[in-house]
Amino acid sequence: MGASEENSALFPIFVLTLMALPLVPYTIVNLFGAFKKKAAKINCQCSISNFSTYSNLTLVLLWVVMAVLVYYIKQISTEVQIFEPFSILGLEYGASDSEIKKAYRRLSIQYHPDKNPDPEAHSYFVEFISKAYQALTDPISRENFEKYGHPDGRQGLQMGIALPQFLLNIDGASEGILLLGIVGVCIILPLTVSVIYLSRSSKYTGNYVMHSTLAAYYHLMKPSLAPSKVMDVFIKASEFMDIPVHRSDEEPLQRLFVLVRSELNLDLKNIRQEQAKFWKQHPALVKTELLLQTQLTRETAALSPTLQRDFRRVLELAPRLLEELMKMAIIPRPPVGHGWLRPAIGVVELSQSIVQAVPLSARKAAGASSEGYAPFLQLPHFSEAVVKKIARKKVRTFQDFRDMTPDERADLLTQVAGFSNGESHDVEMVLEMMPSVTIDITCETEGEEGIQEGDIVTMHTWVTLNRGSGLIRALPHCPYFPFDKEENFWLMLADSFSNDVWLSQKVSFMDEATSIIAVSKTIQESKEGSGASAREINVAVKEAIEKVKNGSRLVMGKFQAPAEGNYNLSSFCLCDSWIGCDAKSNIKLKVMKRSRAGTRGGFAADETPAMEDGIEEDEEEEEEDFDDYESEYSEDEEDTKETKSKGAVANGSAHNKGNSSGSDESGSEAD
């Protein structure tokens, strides 16, 4: 019975160990991640804050449970008592038989039941005094004690099981139930979990997006897809279709529809028919679009508790689904192997609007600003009314506002917009964290002069990011987005007139160590291929590493030169988290008629971007109406003429530098 109780006492320790094994490292990782995020976040005093996370509350609760277990174990733990007959009788080791008998008689007078009616005295006399006297007076017991430290002789290894007492007190009928329980927990449960996990994971890609979603995005993506139509494709993800629609959601969704109706691109001339058509869609599509429009219009206060949960789920899925939608827009398509520029820009603009909670209608061109008043709405305490007030003071565009000095902005906001000093300081903090991007791009044929048709052209681009705060890694200021969102940039070399994306690459400034390793390897291989000496390679690698540490990232890509002619290309660097922080520049590429013998081949099989599994080319192309807001990068006739007059060509090798902002374009000549 004593052994059983001792084993049962070990059960809390066993539970504590099982909890601590995953909880301690998970907590360390979370604290380390939180420390990194804290260094990257904006120290803004805005009244709006992100939602609290359930994972942090669960973590705190588990640590509270562990603390309770530690306290409980400390209370029930008892020190193991070693049987010492000499010390029990109050004798020194090696006492004689007469001394043992005298000590026994003395203790018997004190603890014997006939002399002392106390139950504890009786228990002590039976369990300790009598056993100690017997162990020392019996020759065999005393010899065993002196040799092995125990009156019963050599003791074997004792093992127990850390289970609660009710599982140890079982009879023959309960053994079968216990056996079934052990088999179920140790064998059947892990197998069931494994089968469910494997069956579900087979539906997803490495980016945790369902294969059926990629197939839908691929087939629905069209070269003429307007920015406002990107939403219609985006909501058709299988992940959104799996979100349940309950009868109780009908009334809250009706209220949301009234609030966001102006953002749904409904034809006002036939409003009744348009509304009926909208509600005839699949319920999951209706729910998802209304929840996304709720985010864009910042009407989250109208969400019911049930819709609030689905709203968070939609926003949690949005970043990675938008990334896959972007890949479907820029994936090379036959026959020329180019992606599509117009839908790619629309996807990035939708991502910016969702992260910053800015309506798509706010991006409509107004006055001198081709980007509308949307960039202002990502600043704290700004509204459309504030934008109209400062516009009276000749602040027409967001770039004009950024170009002002801090003192000028403070005077403008406090005197014209009616901001307090604290609110003005909030705006300044966000502006300091907004990125400013520059592009230094070169296109050339390695080892040859000029670019000839059929050549493999190498694009060598340095993308440099600067902030007023001096930080390189930072999380965007997005108080209406309930999850941490990293900044990502999409670099594209495209032909705006033919809507073709020649090259594209995702660029991130969050991981400096990985960028240093990548740029060192790239520069070393490039210099070795050109026959540079070891010293020249080391110098080039050190310069590249220094650039990376100062906020630059190297992007390299290859494409096959098209037919002979002059090509007016544009390089885009689009941010998926900030509005008005993109960079665009023009580059003129001259391709000459082939005069060198042979060709330098096409792309190797592993250099051509592969299509996702299960996705096939849809031969039919549908033209969409462009009845929507003008994108920040939409080209008109005047822009076309201006673009043709810009850019430079040097012996077929094109070089260009571009600055941040969609309206800033520049070209420079390379020797």
Residue 546 contacts by C-beta under 8 Å, 6 or more apart in sequence? none
CB 402, CB 431: distance < 8 Å: yes
87-101, 293-307, 324-338, 441-455: the lowest-pLDDT one: 87-101
User: Which is nearest to 353 in space by CA: 565, 569, 629, 114?
Assistant: 629
418/664: higher pLDDT: 418
What is the average pLDDT across 204-213? 88
- Residues 460, 544: Cα–Cα separation, whole Å: 13
337-341, 411-415, 514-518, 592-596: the lowest-pLDDT one: 592-596
- CA 367 to each of CA 371, 394, 554, 629, 637: distance values in angstroms, whole numbers, following the listed order: 10, 11, 37, 14, 18
- Residues 417, 30: Cα–Cα separation, whole Å: 41
- Residues 122, 130: Cα–Cα separation, whole Å: 11
What pLDDT, on the 0 to 100 scale, is given for residue 176? 64
Indicate whether 590 pLDDT > 80: yes
What pLDDT, on the 0 to 100 scale, is given for residue 602? 40
Six token digits for residue 119: 């139950």
Phi-psi region of 298 (alpha: psi -120 to 50; beta: other; left: phi over 0): left
What is the average pLDDT across 133-156? 73
356/603: higher pLDDT: 356
Helix (H) or strand (E) holding 87: helix 85-88
What is the average pLDDT across 258-274? 86
What pLDDT, on the 0 to 100 scale, is given for residue 135? 80
Indicate whether 621 pLDDT > 50: no
Query: Can you tell me which residue has the tokens 């080791």?
Result: 93
% of residues, the chain, pLDDT over 70? 77
What is the average pLDDT across 190-212? 84
What pLDDT, on the 0 to 100 scale, is given for residue 165? 59
Phi-psi region of 368 (alpha: psi -120 to 50; beta: other; left: phi over 0): alpha
Q: Phi first, then psi: give them for residue 50, nearest 5 degrees.
A: -70, 160
pLDDT in tens, 97-136: 888 888 888 888 888 888 888 888 888 888 788 888 888 7
- CA 164 to each of CA 4, 6, 186, 525, 644: distance values in angstroms, whole numbers, following the listed order: 9, 10, 18, 64, 82
Indicate whether 53 pLDDT > 60: no
DSSP lists the bridge partners of residue 340 as 500
Q: What share of the chain is helix, strand, coil (3-state, %, to 5)?
A: 50, 10, 35
75/244: higher pLDDT: 244
Six token digits for residue 44: 């803004």
Burial of 563 (0-12, 13-18, 19+ CB in 10 A): exposed
CB 148, CB 131: distance < 8 Å: no
Helix 250-260 vs helix 305-330: angle between axes, to the nearest 10 degrees?
60
pLDDT band with cut points at 50, 70 and 90 for residue 608: very low
Mean pLDDT (the chain, rounded): 80
CB 654, CB 366: distance < 8 Å: no
- Residues 486, 315: Cα–Cα separation, whole Å: 14
CB 377, CB 385: distance < 8 Å: no
Indicate whether 641 pLDDT > 80: no
What pLDDT, on the 0 to 100 scale, is given for residue 637? 39
Phi-psi region of 134 (alpha: psi -120 to 50; beta: other; left: phi over 0): alpha
- Residues 218, 612: Cα–Cα separation, whole Å: 9
- Residues 498, 408: Cα–Cα separation, whole Å: 43
DSSP lists the bridge partners of residue 443 as 459, 654
pLDDT band with cut points at 50, 70 and 90 for residue 166: low
CB 478, CB 356: distance < 8 Å: yes
What pLDDT, on the 0 to 100 scale, is given for residue 286? 94
Whether residue 335 is preceded by a cis peptide bond, meaning omega within 30 degrees of 0, is yes
345-354, 449-458, 490-499, 655-664: the lowest-pLDDT one: 655-664
Residue 306 contacts by C-beta under 8 Å, 6 or more apart in sequence? 246, 248, 249, 252
Fill in the DSSP letter of residue 331. S
pLDDT band with cut points at 50, 70 and 90 for residue 87: confident
pLDDT band with cut points at 50, 70 and 90 for residue 527: confident
pLDDT in tens, 331-362: 999 888 899 999 999 999 999 999 999 999 99
Indicate whether 660 pLDDT > 70: no
String of b and e for 285-313 (b: at least 16 CB within 10 Å)?
bbbbbbbbbbbbbebbeebbeebeebbbb
Indicate whether 368 pLDDT > 50: yes
Indicate whether 48 pLDDT > 90: no
- Residues 631, 466: Cα–Cα separation, whole Å: 25
Helix 250-260 vs helix 283-297: angle between axes, to the nearest 10 degrees?
50
Amino acid present at 30: N
User: Which is nearest to 600 in space by CA: 459, 451, 500?
Assistant: 451
- Residues 399, 305: Cα–Cα separation, whole Å: 40
340-344, 487-491, 600-604: the lowest-pLDDT one: 600-604
Indicate whether 11 pLDDT > 80: no
What is the average pLDDT across 26-42? 66
- Residues 292, 567: Cα–Cα separation, whole Å: 39
